[in-house]
Structure 1
Amino acid sequence: MSMSFGKSLAGSVLALAAASAAQADVPQVATDIAPVHGLVARVMDGLGEPALVVQPGASPHSYSMRPSEARALEQSDAVFWIGAELEPWLEESIDTLASDALVVELLGVDGITTLEFREGATFEAHDHEHGDEPHADHDHDHASEEHAAHDHADETAHDDHDHADEASHEGEKHDGHDHGDEEHDHEGEDHAGHDHAGHSHEGVDPHAWLDPENAKTWLDVIAEDLAELDPENAETYRANATAGREEIDAAMADVETMLSTADDVSFVVFHDAYHYFENRFGISAAGAISLSDATDPSPARVEEVRDTIRDLGVACVFAEPQFNQDLVATVSDGTDVQAAVIDPLGFELEMGPDFYPELIRSIGDSIASCTSSS
């Protein structure tokens, strides 16, 4: 072996070792749902990849973790999740398995827009009464904030929005999880607006990731948190967040173009998950078959949605891949309404740094395509 070759080989080994050491210093990150995973993946692009707890195709409202997902929480240095309003079942697991990690509940981040739950099967009266006004928290400098304040794992229980008794829909199977044995008791339902007796639907709607402006705020929060955990790569996190914000702006512009002729077309969604998207882009669903937490609707609610479809000449009814699509057929029966699929979690999209802008585009495209063909 020549001396020059030996030096070259030694240099390569040292470079690989340095790269491995840098990679080893990147925080281990866990995320709850695919849209949050996409945002974190954008910030970590080129450095590492976060783990995903709720697998694509499953409902975050009720889920049973696999051992590998529990292990990802246990090994995490940071956890980014929407919050207990969306995933009440996950709060205890984070408390137990990720007690030493930085835990960031994104729904509690200052500076985002939050919206209240909508009531009833149809939204026109509710939106008119409440003005459908968003509630934006005051701006704050996240970079100077003490990061311990982000750890919401010890927050008090959300008494007004307790989903502990929530159940999955009959016969659903997601990635090997059979939820068909879980039961939901509909006895004592109040059909005058709240479908489930003793189950309050007051408070903040947790589907805040469907407002792209919220996602842009979260990118900066994620970048600053990871920069504090990993100062050597701080500038990369921040640069990635800036690029991610620009990509979301481009996606928003595309969606505004897609929906430019859809503002006067009525549509109904499977469950009330799209309030943030509607509010941001100036459109409004006529109603939802199921509540925001995707619990099974009462017969009275199904009948009310069916009447809405007929009375308002609703153009489209959107199913979701995570839930019972037979209900869409039920409310559409006897009408000329178009049926299509829309997905707030991006089940068919490729995971990774480009996920979130593509999610926003896919929702806009689904609404625009269905309404324009009606």
Structure 2
Amino acid sequence: MLHNKKPLFTLFSVLGLAASVAAPAHSAVVASIKPLGFIAAAIADGVTPVEVLLPDGASEHDYALRPSDIKRLQGADLVVWIGPEMEAFMPRAVAQLPAQKSIEISELPGIKPLLIKGDEEDEHHHDESDHDHEASEHEHHHGEYNMHLWMSPEIARQSAVAIHAKLLELMPQSRDKLDANLQYFEAELASANTQIGSQLAPVKGKGYFVFHDAYSYFEKHFGLTPTGHFTVNPEIQPGAQRLHQIRTQLVEQKAVCVFAEPQFRPAVIDAVARGTKVRSGTLDPLGIDITVAKDSYVKFLSQLSSQYTSCLKGA
């Protein structure tokens, strides 16, 4: 009897080890950037965890995947990302995943008609002498359209519908919870849309400069009127000519506010605004101080709205 126990124990150990090796590293919805994590969390709440690939403080424009990131992607139930024109670090990794395990938001049916073209003035935002090469590289990377799609409440809604459909395929046993989550998200989004519209109404028509062109979808949706942006690529400092143009407009009081970002607080913004009556604010395009949870996306939109109004109103 004593002799039989050891082989039996060893057999179970081997089976357990084999099972752990065969299983993926973890199961979760993995979103490339935080705002997509917010949308996914609304749908996956109570069904499967949601994780965000991009660490807080990192830029989606120049991130490089680590080996641990690759493992997370390979072990994910579902991977959600914008597309190669936004996250240049994602295509190779996503190509290795089964097609049913990833969602590329920019390729969803119904999204194409909602896309906003990139700023036609982009090429003029850099000094020809020292920024031409870098600027053209970035414009090629960004392609024809502005890809900050998470800034659009309508694209966010369609993204949630797509995430719901994919998770339903993968986890049909969770249909009731997934259906309830989508219904709740759509209702909360509609309510926030009305509330934010009212909050922003008094500041419509007021001019301002944002640091980079991340906000076009939000601005168009809610009828805001930006005077312009400092740069297309936040990794590249605007050239002297561009700064002179902005400075002239500030002196002429064509804008009441200039916005920096938590990820990028370049001294050029302070330098250009110095000595003018323009106010300074901060817009957070990634919601870095918001925890990924069921109500995060609506919280993100509301926070952005408050960031706009507090500076534009002068509160």
SS at match of 1:256: helix
Q: Does 1:111 align with 2:110?
A: yes
- Counterpart of 2:3 in structure 1 is none
Deviation at 1:60, TM superposition (A): 0.7
Percent of paired sites with the same residue: 28
SS at match of 2:84: coil
1:122–1:320 CA distance, 2 compared to 1 (3 A): farther
Matching residue's letter, 2:181: N
| C-alpha contact 2:123 2:135 (8 A) present in aligned 1 | no
SS at match of 1:277: helix
Deviation at 1:119, TM superposition (A): 2.9
Deviation at 1:66, TM superposition (A): 4.0
2:259 to 280, 296, 318: 318
Q: Mean alpha-carbon deviation: is it higher for 324-333 or for 277-286? A: 324-333
**Alignment of structure 1 residues 83-162 onto 2, 5 Å:** 83-96=83-96, 98-99=97-98, 102-112=101-111, 113-120=114-121
Partners of 1:310 and 1:294 in 2: how far apart?
26
**Alignment of structure 1 residues 275-314 onto 2, 5 Å:** 275-291=216-232, 294-314=235-255
Q: Which runs of 5+ in 1 are unaligned?
A: 1-23, 124-184
Matching residue's letter, 2:65: M
1:249–1:295 CA distance, 2 compared to 1 (3 A): farther
Deviation at 1:365, TM superposition (A): 0.6
1:360–1:225 CA distance, 2 compared to 1 (3 A): same
- Counterpart of 2:206 in structure 1 is 265
Matching residue's letter, 2:192: A
CA RMSD of aligned residues (A): 2.6
Deviations 1:200-242 (A, max 9, x none): 3651100111110111111111101110111111232122111
1:195–1:71 CA distance, 2 compared to 1 (3 A): closer
Deviation at 1:334, TM superposition (A): 2.4
SS at match of 2:131: coil
1:349 to 270, 290, 302: 290
Deviations 1:143-175 (A, max 9, x none): xxxxxxxxxxxxxxxxxxxxxxxxxxxxxxxxx
Q: Does 1:364 align with 2:305?
A: yes
Deviations 1:255-305 (A, max 9, x none): 111111101211110101000001000112101011056533222222222
1:318–1:122 CA distance, 2 compared to 1 (3 A): farther
Deviations 1:108-136 (A, max 9, x none): 1111311000132799xxxxxxxxxxxxx
Partners of 1:210 and 1:355 in 2: how far apart?
13
SS at match of 2:264: coil
Deviation at 1:312, TM superposition (A): 4.0
Q: Does 1:208 align with 2:149?
A: yes
SS at match of 1:189: helix
Matching residue's letter, 1:103: S
1:225 to 166, 172, 175: 166
Deviation at 1:352, TM superposition (A): 1.2
- Counterpart of 2:59 in structure 1 is 59
Partners of 1:222 and 1:76 in 2: how far apart?
14
The alignment of Structure 1 onto Structure 2 pairs a total of residues equal to 285
Q: Mean alpha-carbon deviation: is it higher for 255-264 or for 298-307? A: 298-307
Deviation at 1:356, TM superposition (A): 0.4
Partners of 2:273 and 2:93 in 1: how far apart?
40
Partners of 2:110 and 2:293 in 1: how far apart?
25
Q: Does 1:28 align with 2:28?
A: yes
Matching residue's letter, 1:118: D
Q: Which runs of 5+ in 2 are unaligned?
A: 1-23
2:175 to 234, 238, 246: 234
Matching residue's letter, 1:189: H
TM-score by length of 2: 0.83
| C-alpha contact 2:234 2:264 (8 A) present in aligned 1 | no
Partners of 2:61 and 2:137 in 1: how far apart?
18
